[in-house]
Amino acid sequence: MAAEEQKDDFKMEDLTDVNKTMSLVVKYLSFVENMSPFKLGQIAEMITKINKDAGEAVAPYFAGGQVVFLLLFVAYFVVSVVALAVDADAMSCPCASESWIWLYALLVISIITFLGFIIFVVQWVLNLINVQIPDSALSLPSPLAMTTFAVLGIILWAGMSEKCDDFYASNHGMLLTVFHIMVIVMSIASVVGLSTFVGQIITDISSYWNQFSSQYLPIGEKKDEDKA
């Protein structure tokens, strides 16, 4: 019976339903999204908790956006790794002591990706043992790391001398471009991530308050709240 129930989880006719199709896309791409700087899935889940109808209405658009962002992330990841390999000489170039953009790129691509993988593993284990924790508990590490890298990248970018900028542009153009993209991505992703975290905190507090009021408030007070 269990095997039959598992088989029924996915049906070909589900593909004709846009919402179900997008739900499947989100489900099977969640692993990659955890390693991506932009996590649209978290925003979609937060909207659904605030208003279920609104969440269902925007779900297909967010799922489509997830696919686009994840494809861009894969391209960004591949190009970054290639740049690190091709421009490995930049690690020990004369300007490396002043503006160590090769090391910065290595730290961003490795730490952010590894952190996302760790968060995915933790989520998987929690689901396996059927333990639920607030969404915000696992949402904070990534934006904090990205904020740190955003600030560090801006400092490196602003502090780079014109001489070193010309040197990197002439000898390590691909690495310099990847560095600029990383700083911009980290800056935007940190703002989006922290905003999402704040929204999740507010949603969690509201959810806990609703649970508390439904269990402990007197019936008269509940009715007064409903009328208000």
Least confident of 43-52, 114-123, 165-174: 43-52
Residue 29's pLDDT is: 64
> Greater confidence, 98 or 191?
191
Q: Sort 184 into a burial class: Cβ within 10 Å, 0-12 / 13-18 / 19+.
A: middle
> Greater confidence, 87 or 26?
87
* Residue 220 placed within a domain: no
Over pLDDT 70: what percentage of the chain?
66
> Greater confidence, 127 or 224?
127
pLDDT band at 137 (very low <50, low <70, confident <90, very high): confident
Number of structural domains in the chain: 1
pLDDT band at 195 (very low <50, low <70, confident <90, very high): confident
pLDDT band at 6 (very low <50, low <70, confident <90, very high): very low
pLDDT band at 103 (very low <50, low <70, confident <90, very high): very high
* Residue 31 placed within a domain: yes
pLDDT over 90 (residue 152): yes
Identity of the residue numbered 13: E
Over pLDDT 90: what percentage of the chain?
18
> Greater confidence, 170 or 203?
170
* Residue 41 placed within a domain: yes
Domain that holds residue 168: 2-210
* Residue 109 placed within a domain: yes
Whole-number average pLDDT of the chain: 76
* Residue 136 placed within a domain: yes
* Residue 20 placed within a domain: yes
Helix spans in the chain (H): 2-7, 18-35, 40-50, 52-86, 101-107, 113-128, 135-139, 141-159, 162-171, 173-216, 219-227
Q: Phi and psi of 185, rounded to 5°?
A: -65, -45
* Residue 63 placed within a domain: yes
* Residue 216 placed within a domain: no
